[in-house]
Structure 1
């Protein structure tokens, strides 16, 4: 299971594997003060995409599409996240004030889609019984 949480909220035992998914370290938090298992700055949107988005709500749909394209092109950045999500709770930490329109939410959607895609049979042989029932 995957959930997103602001980095400024306290860690909880239910968070499971906590991963910071922002390219920049969050303001006002000392590196040794943040409870996390990993920081994966490469999985965050590219600097140019992050700046183009600028946390403007009207640009979010374009940002989401472009970020998903970046993620599709670099599975090496998010494979570990997929593994941790399949093992238990994965909490994606982010610094954005907007809890609905941020890179962690897009990444969580992307990872959920990948988990579903990988668990679904994709071979035509798997559908044989369904197709023969007509």
Structure 2
């Protein structure tokens, strides 16, 4: 059986977290008051690995929200996990980006959705890998 350890989790613009890096040891505790980001850290970890949050939802909002509860445009959401798999390093990364398309004859690009990019050890891979 393989031994997999999470050594570091780096989070950027994920839900209410602007930027956070957590270094893990054999016994790392994450605690704090309500609404301070504990569940968001767990959600970021689950989103990186499985594309879902802690409630099993794949359609949850990963982007930070503005004061009106709307997703903030112009930023990328990124979660990077540094693992040890049988003492060999492995880095998984997931980036959620906005897709802007400039139609012919239009002056400005139009927001047309999002793309999700996956990386293993810094190299792009398809979602299936």
Q: TM-score, normalised by structure 1?
A: 0.30
Higher strand fraction (1 or 2): 2
Higher helix fraction (1 or 2): 1
